[in-house]
Chain A
């Protein structure tokens, strides 16, 4: 089922993927124009290493302007495929070369601002810095998508076709999209 969902997402994307990749900083910004984004300076003053979940730092007080916005989450999901995040982090952020992003724990903090900084600035063990390629609103949409994954994973999955489709015997291989590769 996960693979199906991914396929659907990527089908939508297939046509925009190549174009999106060459998009450079400053290309036209999509999404609600009125949204007020947090200031760059504030974001960069966030210290590293504050324990996640503890709103001691400024990070905990900055909200994602797109949180819960269904259209933004859908756009974030598209970007997650088009920017090849999915081939490092797995379908629905289940984890591959890079760590899982589905709310099962964060290396660099899971507040919206910390997620923004992880994506914008990159992280030392191979996470690329996307600030040079994606405008801030698109990064916030990616954050919105990641936030939606965390929410989903906290819900009991007893209903719906997703749950029915899961084959426990093969769960090891669910979401191993593109995962296993040569070198």
Chain B
């Protein structure tokens, strides 16, 4: 029964290969990546220029564009997208990761208990090649503020690298699933967890931490890719030596110059419990040899207990990946009063500003401002609201500091009504994408405001260092909690937008087929014309989408689009009991044109088992 189908598959492979786009080895710098008429002129460096059909890290490239050069699926045929196959992991926690594809293998890492699967894409139904069960400490489940999530693995040099909720990082042999090393970076009993996806630069695995709601001190650690040995660690708060501010440092603005600002901008030793955790994305510019790392809200969340700017919380660092040395640091929200973490992705693009091509960093912050910084200096090029906000009246161009509206400052035992955006910001961690064909940034954002009352809070290790007492509501009179926007990073203006009734909290995928893909928390997966915002295809999935879509070429030469449904995280905390909000449960969906794949079609397809022995590696508890 299987043989005829395999023959068909091989025939198709031959046809597609002959047509060109199926060549998995072709350079990613194809004409498909070039700006099209009407584009803003912004482009990007797609290093490390992985094979175009692969997806080796969550953001695909170092610049964090989430742009794929694949174009088999485009505006002309995307309406024929249908499910090809699916994979369920049976886990109820929020799913926030993208699967990876390297060669003929897909890698999936689940939320807690952080099980890793390798799926053999060369076989019908993509059978499991190996499984790794790390058995992280269950204590972490009750310490993670916002659900026991994980933002996915990364692939480098034959290893699959990812983090475990209980504060560990692990590297597996990608071929066999056998652990190469496993390293603990902090104690979950103290409130530290890890949810972020590591980035590998050279031999350095860069791993941050979570726990900014529990008084955990932010840190970024570099581990040796081959051994897991610690190379360096840079903290987000404390004296310059701990932060790794030294001779390389150049302040983008005068208020960011001075000795030990990470300690002196706090009362007493409060910086030791000051948050600034590193739970978002890291990007890398190989030309400047700098990594870019955002930091979380300060701890406690109640600002009355920590007068000062609270550096380097709600900020971004540019560091040398070899040493951790800080080249510049910029704080988006000094003395954050609203939980506006600075962890959102920093997308590295190059674009014309006043007739000159500049090296830029685009960052849509939780605080509602869309920043375009000069990534060599950390100085602001553009800073304009990408969503309605009222906590600040603008950004002072001389200092880069927000001009705070005193009416919207948080107060102890006094309710402040209708602060926009709410604590999770105008946009949370869910990463935007960039298309060089349009020169636009595409993002899932929120339209949510809050009524806030602060209470003073005591520090008890391993418990929330919190104090924010809030209720949320949709902004304006729209009752639209979400929105998908196209943003011009060179001018700070929207090109177009699609309002959504439910929160939009997925990553975005952009492709050379002029498509952008995003999901909604009520479970719609959509494909949109990147040029004009026209919705070309929608599919309702089994649960809400808070993960990151990706695309790849299968071993059969066909382009697939994959996304995980499995709502959770802050989306469920904020909207979980709203009428129409879907239940939890993680399932990976893989789509192709007409749903054709080795995992679907006429005849009786069966699981063939995998090339590898189907090994299960169980870490000792």
Contact = CB atoms under 8 A, between A and B. Distances in A.
Interface of A: 3, 6-7, 10-11, 14, 17-18, 20-22, 81-84, 87-88, 91, 96-98, 123-128, 133, 170-174, 176-183
Given A91-B469, A176-B573, A183-B279, 12 more contacts: A7-B415, A20-B458, A21-B459, A87-B213, A88-B142, A124-B138, A126-B141, A173-B472, A178-B468, A178-B470, A181-B466, A183-B210
Contacts of B301: 178, 181
B453 A183 contact: no
A125 B472 contact: no
B575 interface: yes
B495 interface: no
Contact of B458 (A11, A18, A124, A176): A18
Contacts of B277: 183
Contact of B573 (A3, A21, A179): A179
Contacts of B145: 97, 181-183
A97 B140 CA distance: 11
Interface string B283-315: 000000000000011000100000000000000
Nearest to B575: A172
A174 B471 contact: yes
A126 B423 CA distance: 24
B269 to A, nearest CB: 15
A14 B413 contact: yes
Given A3-B469, A181-B145, A126 B573 contact: no
Contact of A182 (B213, B413, B578): B213
A35 B472 CA distance: 44
Contacts of B464: 84, 87-88, 97, 178, 181
B556 interface: no
22 contacts: A14-B412, A14-B455, A17-B456, A84-B457, A96-B573, A124-B139, A125-B141, A126-B142, A126-B188, A127-B142, A171-B577, A172-B578, A178-B467, A179-B470, A180-B146, A180-B424, A181-B301, A181-B339, A181-B423, A181-B468, A183-B213, A183-B296
A78 to B, nearest CB: 12
Given A14-B456, A18-B458, A176-B573, A183 B144 contact: yes
A182 B471 contact: no
A105 to B, nearest CB: 16
Contact of A170 (B212, B343, B473): B473
Contact of A181 (B139, B146, B429): B146
Contacts of B455: 7, 10, 14, 81
Nearest to B211: A183
B357 to A, nearest CB: 35
Interface of B: 138-146, 188, 193, 195, 210-213, 277, 279, 296-297, 301, 339, 341, 343, 366, 412-413, 415, 422-424, 428-429, 453, 455-460, 462-473, 570, 573-578
Contacts of B412: 14
Contacts of B210: 183
Closest CB pairs A-B (n = 10): A126-B142, A21-B458, A87-B464, A172-B577, A84-B463, A177-B469, A180-B573, A183-B210, A10-B455, A87-B466
A83 B470 contact: no
Given A84-B466, A173-B473, A182-B339, A126 B143 contact: yes
Given A97-B145, A98-B142, A125-B139, A183 B574 contact: no
Contacts of B279: 182-183
B463 A176 contact: no
B460 A21 contact: yes
Contacts of B473: 170, 173
A123 to B, nearest CB: 8
A181 B457 contact: no
B545 to A, nearest CB: 18
A180 B142 contact: no
Nearest to B577: A172
Given A14-B455, A182-B339, A183-B213, A125 B142 contact: yes
B195 A17 contact: no
Contacts of B138: 124-126
A163 B163 CA distance: 45
Nearest to B140: A126
Nearest to A21: B458
Interface on chain B toward A: helix, strand, loop, or mixed SS?
loop
A151 B574 CA distance: 27
B212 A183 contact: yes
Contacts of A170: 471, 473
B449 to A, nearest CB: 11
Nearest to B462: A128
Contacts of B422: 180
Contacts of B213: 87, 181-183
A44 B453 CA distance: 40
A7 B142 contact: no
Contacts of A123: 142
Contacts of A180: 146, 422-424, 470, 472, 570, 573-574
A59 to B, nearest CB: 23
A142 to B, nearest CB: 14
Given A84-B463, A97-B144, A182 B424 contact: yes
Contacts of A98: 142
Contact of A18 (B339, B424, B456): B456
A162 to B, nearest CB: 16
A51 B279 CA distance: 40
A14 to B, nearest CB: 5
A121 to B, nearest CB: 13
A173 B449 CA distance: 12
Nearest to B339: A182
- With a 10 A CB-CB cut-off, give which of A87, A125, A181 has the most chain B CB atoms: A181
Contacts of B467: 87, 178
Nearest to A122: B139
Contact of A183 (B195, B460, B466, B575): B195
Nearest to A128: B462
A3 B452 CA distance: 10
Contacts of B472: 173, 176, 180
Nearest to B468: A178
Given A88-B464, A176-B470, A178-B469, A17 B458 contact: yes
Contacts of A81: 455
Contacts of B576: 172
A32 B366 CA distance: 50
B568 to A, nearest CB: 12
Contacts of A84: 457-458, 460, 463-466
Contacts of A11: 413
A171 B140 CA distance: 29
Contacts of A174: 471
Contacts of B466: 84, 87, 178, 181
A96 B576 CA distance: 12
Contacts of A83: 460, 463
Contact of A128 (B211, B423, B458, B463): B463
